[in-house]
């Protein structure tokens, strides 16, 4: 059965039963029934309670089996311990979908809760009945007048907005409905659907996401995410939403990196859930909002800007009723990377000519200080000239009450007229508030009004990220051919399989595998005596590094198993003897020698695995201070070489390479990209066996890049 048909009973039921309906005011079973009726649901409503009788003017049935006729959807407001029995009764009745409001399932993290959840999931699989939850607060579908839940906001008036111009939300947190719904009302936004998926025993977030992409009522999709179950599936859905022209924005809950310090490799410790999700969402074309308020604000801006052209200068055109307000706007825009229209705050072209015609005007730049115009009526021709110059992005007014209400309304009329011409959103931020009539006028005419600068610019930053993603044609790039030769790949697989899952390859074997993949590994030799060490030193020449490879020791430097800067036979022999003694104490090991490479910068490159998102490339400043400096960026392994180049060049690591490499900067940056491509292609081919990879450091000199230490950790079986 197609997914959308299987969810029709949930989203567009013809009849609904509330199991656990109650006649007692304020109990969840009473509240849910009342909200369903007052929301305007025009199908059959059946209260179910063993006591029978009548509830809220409706006949109450003692069991679901007693309900006359078919029941499309059921909402259960009963204890977890008896929910499975109710689900079996619903399945026998032929119910299409059930929403389980009770907690007490998998979220308990104990055997009882897990068993309960497994039982209801089994009932869903066996019967074909779809289950939302458990541990959910209900569902909201304004398009079908279906308010089926017990959150306070389920009692709100249902205002979905025009078809295709509403927000729909799928969330892991149902209680946030009471936070986001009031925000949306303040911003004049219609809410089509709110679907809290709870524990996802059956219907999960991605299935609802899939449904919303094809939902005609939905213009913008918002995701409130704790964690994803399937990164590849999510990525495919994000690409489908992109193709459908539906912006997707997200709020990530739980950005903790707890547990990362236990990872064996630097790369994994530097990754962490927050950074991985941020990178993954960005490469999937999904903009992140930092808060509920900014998520709602960004959604409102995206809906208001549906007809805004994406080409040309879409930077923010700012107007302010005070010089101080203008400074605040510029500061907040710079802090969040929100682009301002114009060039370095200056107006040129037709706008400059209009400004020059204003007698006695002061300095007029972006933000436009109304006081310097010497008359608010001049704002209209100025804005028209700015549009004529191709600058048709959103307009933002920093507003406080002008001495005369007439001037407030004059400014409002000019700005609202611009919105009509450009199709771009009009944003008002007024920390001190406006006159009630002026405030109401802006809201009634579609302006998005904020009372907090930070929330306003957080929403704008999310909006601009989403607009940029919407214009990007490479959200789902085609996979490029591998850079690794087939015979080299066979040898790499042999090397990786030489250690048990969960164990790590010693540096020598790690370097072998990475060199075969195309990474620029330093030449290394194993030596078994002081004489062999002396011979290797003579062959290499110059300062040398000597390392002891001990079983179970991943970080040699921390264990005192590295000697650097060795010059001359005496120093080499002494270092060999010292490391041999240390290895004897550790029972076993080998000694490795390498020439020391010159460096002007040290980077860390690597791979980290973040379930269930997959593997990420790691790039940052390296050496001993990799974790201290923590300048790392993560890059999903599905990105193209062209995108890798963009990320490297804009990163702190890339900026450092460009500075230290001088005239060879382009080539050294290309070397870094080549190394990341080698890691990318290695993981694409062998990812099922790779937990993490470290190249730390990658030494950057003017003539070459050289990797001098490596660690591959084999992945545990799944």
Look at residue 458 and tell me if it is in a domain.
no
Contacts with 281 (C-beta within 8 Å, 6 or more apart), sequence order: 250, 252, 287, 288
Shared domain for 581 and 644, answered yes or no, is no
Phi-psi region of 212 (alpha: psi -120 to 50; beta: other; left: phi over 0): alpha
Shared domain for 7 and 17, answered yes or no, is yes
Of the candidates 43, 21, 26, the one whose C-alpha atom is nearest the C-alpha of residue 146 is 43
Flag whether pLDDT at 607 surpasses 70.
yes
Say how far residue 683 (Cα) sits from the centre of its chain: 22
Of 412-421, 450-459, 599-608, give the lowest mean pLDDT range: 599-608
Percent pLDDT > 90 in the chain is: 82
Flag whether pLDDT at 632 surpasses 90.
no
Tokens of 351: 């706008």
How much is the average pLDDT of 516-529? 96
Flag whether pLDDT at 258 surpasses 50.
no
How much is the average pLDDT of 246-273? 63
What is the model's pLDDT at position 718? 58
Q: Which residues of 93-128 are buried (b: 16+ CB within 10 A; e: fewer)?
A: bebbbbbbbbbbbbeeeeeebeebbebbbebbeebe
pTM exceeds 0.75 for this model: yes
Residue 629, Cβ density class (10 Å: 0-12 exposed, 13-18 middle, ≥19 buried): middle
Shared domain for 313 and 275, answered yes or no, is no
What is the model's pLDDT at position 2? 41
Flag whether pLDDT at 260 surpasses 80.
no
Shared domain for 55 and 111, answered yes or no, is yes
What is the model's pLDDT at position 263? 45
* Neighbour tally for 537: CB within 10 Å: 25
Shared domain for 591 and 701, answered yes or no, is no
Residue-wise pLDDT tens digits, 334-350: 999 999 999 888 899 99
Look at residue 461 and tell me if it is in a domain.
no
Shared domain for 603 and 528, answered yes or no, is no
The H helix count followed by the E strand count for the chain is 25, 30
Contacts with 165 (C-beta within 8 Å, 6 or more apart), sequence order: 190, 219, 303, 306
What is the model's pLDDT at position 48? 98
Shared domain for 571 and 623, answered yes or no, is no
How much is the average pLDDT of 422-440? 95
What CATH number does the domain containing 497 carry? 3.30.470.20
For residue 142, what pLDDT band results from cuts at 50, 70 and 90? very high
Shared domain for 321 and 389, answered yes or no, is yes
| Alpha-carbon span 301 to 583, nearest angstrom | 64
How much is the average pLDDT of 102-113? 94
Shared domain for 373 and 494, answered yes or no, is no
Tokens of 633: 């960026």
Helices 507-517 and 665-686 meet at what angle, rounded to 10?
Answer: 100
Shared domain for 591 and 618, answered yes or no, is no
Flag whether pLDDT at 418 surpasses 80.
yes
Last residue of a domain, one of 254, 278, 302: 302
How much is the average pLDDT of 17-22? 97
How much is the average pLDDT of 419-425? 96
Contacts with 707 (C-beta within 8 Å, 6 or more apart), sequence order: 511, 514, 519, 520, 521, 522, 605, 675, 695, 697, 698, 699
Last residue of a domain, one of 302, 318, 350: 302
| Alpha-carbon span 195 to 198, nearest angstrom | 9
Cβ atoms of 360 and 372 closer than 8 Å: no
What is the model's pLDDT at position 3? 47
How much is the average pLDDT of 301-329? 91
- The residue range of the domain holding 619 is 477-520+598-718
What is the model's pLDDT at position 687? 94
What CATH number does the domain containing 533 carry? 3.30.1490.20
Which whole-number Å values give the CA distances from 577 to 529, 572, 628, in the listed order?
9, 9, 33
Q: Which residue has the tokens 């790590």?
A: 504
| Alpha-carbon span 600 to 247, nearest angstrom | 43
Annotate 36-100 with three-state secondary structure: HHHCCCCCEEEEECCCCCEECCEECECCHHHCCCCCCEEEECCCHHHHHHHHHHHHHHCCCEEEE
Residue 640, Cβ density class (10 Å: 0-12 exposed, 13-18 middle, ≥19 buried): middle
What is the model's pLDDT at position 479? 81
Mean residue pLDDT of the chain comes to: 92
Of the candidates 415, 411, 360, 363, the one whose C-alpha atom is nearest the C-alpha of residue 386 is 415
Of 139-143, 162-166, 367-371, 487-491, give the lowest mean pLDDT range: 162-166
Of 315-329, 551-565, 668-682, give the lowest mean pLDDT range: 551-565
Cβ atoms of 705 and 520 closer than 8 Å: yes
Look at residue 378 and tell me if it is in a domain.
yes
Flag whether pLDDT at 163 surpasses 80.
no
Flag whether pLDDT at 624 surpasses 70.
no
- Give 93 or 559, the one with higher predicted confidence: 93
Tokens of 132: 């939302």
Q: Are strands 73-76 and 15-19 parallel, antiparallel or unpaired?
A: parallel
Look at residue 460 and tell me if it is in a domain.
no
* Neighbour tally for 53: CB within 10 Å: 11
Taking 3-state DSSP, the helix, strand and coil percentages for the chain, each rounded to the nearest 5, stand at 45, 20, 35
What is the model's pLDDT at position 265? 45
What is the model's pLDDT at position 311? 76
Look at residue 369 and tell me if it is in a domain.
yes
Tokens of 499: 């250690």
Flag whether pLDDT at 454 surpasses 80.
yes
For residue 272, what pLDDT band results from cuts at 50, 70 and 90? low
Look at residue 711 and tell me if it is in a domain.
yes
| Alpha-carbon span 133 to 204, nearest angstrom | 9
Residue-wise pLDDT tens digits, 501-519: 999 999 999 999 999 999 9
Shared domain for 512 and 644, answered yes or no, is yes
Q: How many domains does the chain have?
A: 4
Last residue of a domain, one of 580, 596, 612: 596
What is the model's pLDDT at position 261? 43
Cβ atoms of 230 and 206 closer than 8 Å: yes
| Alpha-carbon span 619 to 617, nearest angstrom | 7
What CATH number does the domain containing 362 carry? 3.40.50.261
In the three-class reduction of DSSP (H, G, I as helix; E, B as strand; rest coil), residue 511 is classed as helix
Contacts with 406 (C-beta within 8 Å, 6 or more apart), sequence order: none
Flag whether pLDDT at 445 surpasses 80.
yes
Contacts with 635 (C-beta within 8 Å, 6 or more apart), sequence order: 279, 283, 616, 617, 618, 619, 644, 647, 676
Flag whether pLDDT at 555 surpasses 90.
no
Contacts with 555 (C-beta within 8 Å, 6 or more apart), sequence order: none
Q: Which residue has the tokens 């330093």?
A: 522
Look at residue 469 and tell me if it is in a domain.
no
Contacts with 375 (C-beta within 8 Å, 6 or more apart), sequence order: none
Shared domain for 39 and 183, answered yes or no, is yes
| Alpha-carbon span 370 to 191, nearest angstrom | 36
Look at residue 466 and tell me if it is in a domain.
no
């Amino acid at each position: 059965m197609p997914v959308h048909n299987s969810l029709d009973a949930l989203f567009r039921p013809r009849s609904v039963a509330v199991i656990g309906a109650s006649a007692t005011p304020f109990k969840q079973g009473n509240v849910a029934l009342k909200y369903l009726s007052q929301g305007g649901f025009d199908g059959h409503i059946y209260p179910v309670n063993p006591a029978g009788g009548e509830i809220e003017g409706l006949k109450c049935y003692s069991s679901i089996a007693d309900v006359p006729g078919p029941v499309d959807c059921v909402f259960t407001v009963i204890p977890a311990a008896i929910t499975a029995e109710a689900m079996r009764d619903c399945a026998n009745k032929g119910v299409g979908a059930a929403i389980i409001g009770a907690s007490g399932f998998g979220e308990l993290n104990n055997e009882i809760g897990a068993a309960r959840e497994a039982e209801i999931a089994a009932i869903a699989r066996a019967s074909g009945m779809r289950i939302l939850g458990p541990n959910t607060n209900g569902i909201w579908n304004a398009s079908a007048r279906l308010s089926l839940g017990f959150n306070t906001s389920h009692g709100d008036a249902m205002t979905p907005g025009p078809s295709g111009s509403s927000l729909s939300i799928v969330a892991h947190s149902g209680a946030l409905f009471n936070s986001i719904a009031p925000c949306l009302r303040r911003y004049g936004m219609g809410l089509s659907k709110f679907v809290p998926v709870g524990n996802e025993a059956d219907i999960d977030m991605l299935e609802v996401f899939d449904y919303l992409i094809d939902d005609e009522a939905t213009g913008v999709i918002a995701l409130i995410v704790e964690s994803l179950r399937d990164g590849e599936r999510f990525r495919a859905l994000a690409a489908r939403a992109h193709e459908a022209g539906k912006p997707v924005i997200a709020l990530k809950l739980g950005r903790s990196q707890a547990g990362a310090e236990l990872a064996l490799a630097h790369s994994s410790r530097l990754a962490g859930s927050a950074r991985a999700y941020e990178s993954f969402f960005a490469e999937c074309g999904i903009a992140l909002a930092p808060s509920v308020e900014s998520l709602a604000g960004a959604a409102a801006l995206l809906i208001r800007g549906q007809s805004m052209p994406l080409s040309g200068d879409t930077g923010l055109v700012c107007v302010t009723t005070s010089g101080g307000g203008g400074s605040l706007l510029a500061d907040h825009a710079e802090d969040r990377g929100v682009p301002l229209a114009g060039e370095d705050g200056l107006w040129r072209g037709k706008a400059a000519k209009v400004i020059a015609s204003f007698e006695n005007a002061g300095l007029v730049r972006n933000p436009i200080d109304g006081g310097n115009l010497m008359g608010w009526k001049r704002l209209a021709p100025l804005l028209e000239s700015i549009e004529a110059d191709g600058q048709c992005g959103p307009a933002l007014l920093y507003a406080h009450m002008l001495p005369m209400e007439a001037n407030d309304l004059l400014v409002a009329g000019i700005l609202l007229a611009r919105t009509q011409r450009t199709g771009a959103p009009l944003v008002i931020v007024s920390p001190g508030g406006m006159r009630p009539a002026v405030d109401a006028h802006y809201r009634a005419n579609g302006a998005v009004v904020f009372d907090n600068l930070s929330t306003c610019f957080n929403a704008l930053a999310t909006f601009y990220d989403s607009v940029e993603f919407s214009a990007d044609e490479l959200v789902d790039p085609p996979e490029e051919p591998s850079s690794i030769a087939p015979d080299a790949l066979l040898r790499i697989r042999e090397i990786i399989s030489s250690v048990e899952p969960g164990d790590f390859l010693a540096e020598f074997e790690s370097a072998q595998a990475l060199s075969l993949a195309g990474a620029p590994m330093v030449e290394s030799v194993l030596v078994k005596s002081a004489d062999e060490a002396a011979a290797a030193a003579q062959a290499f020449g110059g300062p040398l590094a000597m390392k002891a490879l001990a079983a179970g020791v991943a970080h040699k430097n921390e264990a005192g198993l590295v000697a650097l800067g060795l010059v001359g036979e005496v120093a080499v022999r002494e270092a060999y003897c010292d490391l041999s003694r240390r290895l004897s104490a550790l029972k076993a090991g080998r000694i490795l020698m390498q020439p020391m490479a010159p460096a002007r910068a040290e980077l860390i490159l690597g791979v980290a695995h973040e379930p269930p998102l997959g593997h990420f490339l790691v790039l940052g400043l390296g050496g001993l201070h990799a974790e201290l400096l923590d300048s790392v960026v993560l890059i999903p392994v599905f990105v193209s070489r062209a995108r890798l180049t963009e990320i490297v060049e804009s990163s702190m690591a890339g900026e450092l390479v460009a500075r230290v490499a001088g005239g060879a900067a382009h080539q050294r940056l290309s070397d870094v990209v080549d190394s990341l491509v080698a890691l990318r292609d290695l993981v694409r081919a062998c990812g099922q066996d790779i937990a993490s990879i470290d190249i730390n450091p990658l030494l950057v000199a003017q003539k070459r890049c050289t990797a001098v230490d490596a660690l591959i950790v084999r992945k545990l079986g799944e």
